[in-house]
Amino acid sequence: MSPDLDRNDSAPPVRGGSAGVTDDIDARDAGGVLGTLRRLGDLGVVVTAHGRAVAPPVHVPRPDSSWLRLREDLLDRGVTVAYATWTEWFPAVLTTPRLRPLLGRDWNRYTATRDPAVRCRFAASRLLIKYTAAAALGIGPEDIDIAYQLGGRPYLRGLDQIEVALTHTGELMAVGISRVGRIGLDAECADRRFDLDLMRGRMCTPAEAAELSVLARDEQAACLLRLWTLKEAYTKALGQGMRLAFTEFGFGLGEGGLRTPDGAAAAGEEWAFATHPVLGRYLVSTACHDAGLDPDGDTSVGTMLDRRLLTAMTPPGEQGPGGEQGPPGERGPVADF
């Protein structure tokens, strides 16, 4: 799946053929799928990187929510994930008088989008990126400048040490921030319907297929959904997207990190993986690479930027990152949604 939020991240992983997800399996309720994964031990931390686990995603339903836990996760673990629905952030898109400076270079793209729902979802996702990054860095959201790589992956201009990941499906949108290495996210509706046999053949390694074969079909479907999100998150973190076939790497059922197609543990302890349920109806998987950067250092923008660049980014009259500004949602008119 592409990291670009303006396409549906729930599109099927068609790799090497034209067949994809179909609608010929009985609908499963989200609660039943999540319950199955809990019973099988397939939710939560999959594996840690150098002993550090990915924390559960944090729900931030509006810009003036508390951002303390996100900043604590980033300080303690080097990575944090925020999520919300775009409808929760819709009032902010409609009512903020500073939408244009908040969107920055994305303003033209926003105004050129004709479909109202797509336009509002786009704006809400960019606001979530900016507020999440601002909470991590100790500056205002309007000072975050989002740019895009050739493949559409967003990054923060002037903040090369910070990695950003995005995903969405249905109403859900999630943003990941990492200061220790690459990060990838993927989300799916827990009641997603698909062709079980087709999916297993297209995305599973021989070892995964063998593990799944001893399970009941409803358990297989739940586990396949989890594997799907984990593999998408990993390939996004690598920057490979659809170019890396899912059958070339695997995961075990339950705990365990990367595996070779024959089920052997892949070398290295630098990757952390986790799958968490959110809002009672979605799965969010995270893949984070620990490049050996120090996650215990100060993540305020003053330690991440050249002072001259920081001066250029900070509007006159505002306090620097060391000032008592409080959370990004509490700074002046930006928070008056």
Q: Tokens standing for 204?
A: 């599973």
Mean pLDDT, residues 73-95 taken together: 94
**Selection from 331, 330, 233, 227 nearest residue 289 by Cα:** 233
- Residue 175 β-bridge partners: 82, 166
Mean model confidence pLDDT for the chain: 80
pLDDT of res. 254: 74
Q: Is 91 strand, coil or helix?
A: helix
Residue range 30-313 in CATH 3.90.470.20: yes
- Contact criterion met (CB below 8 Å) for 200 and 223: no
CA distance 317 to 75: 28
Mean pLDDT of 164-177: 96
Whether residue 271 contacts residue 258, with contact meaning beta carbons closer than 8 Å, is answered with yes
Strand partners, 146: 156
Largest Cα–Cα distance in the chain? 65
Helix (H, G, I), strand (E, B) or coil at 177: strand
Can you list the positions of beta strands (E) in the chain? Answer: 44-47, 58-59, 79-85, 146-148, 154-156, 163-169, 172-178, 183-189, 250-251, 258-259, 271-278, 282-289
What are the structure tokens assigned to 305, written together? 């930027």
Q: Is the pLDDT higher at 93 or at 292?
A: 93
pLDDT class of 325 with cuts at 50, 70, 90: very low
pTM over 0.85: no
Q: Token pair of 152, please?
A: 């559409």
**CB under 8 A, 24+ apart: contacts of 308-317:** 309/158, 313/139, 313/143, 313/145, 313/158, 314/139, 314/143, 315/142, 315/143
CA distance 300 to 284: 27
β-pair partners for 52: 49
Pick the closest to residue 230 from 42, 77, 62 (CA basis). Answer: 42
| Per-residue pLDDT at 267 | 67
User: Are 135 and 147 in contact, with CB atoms under 8 Å apart?
Assistant: no
Distances (CA, A) of 93 to 64, 87, 122, 335: 13, 10, 10, 12
- Structure confidence at residue 20 (pLDDT): 42
Tell me what pLDDT residue 157 has. 92
Question: Which of 1-10, 52-61, 182-191 is the least confident region?
Answer: 1-10
Residue boundaries of the structural domains of the chain = 30-313
Neighbours of 5 (CB within 10 A): 23
Reported as a single tens digit per residue, the pLDDT across 125-156 is: 999 999 999 998 889 999 999 999 888 889 99
CA distance 329 to 336: 9
- Smallest CA-to-CA distance from 162 within 138, 133, 131 is with 133
CA–CA separation, 145 and 139 (whole Å): 12
Q: CB count, 10 Å around CB of 297?
A: 13
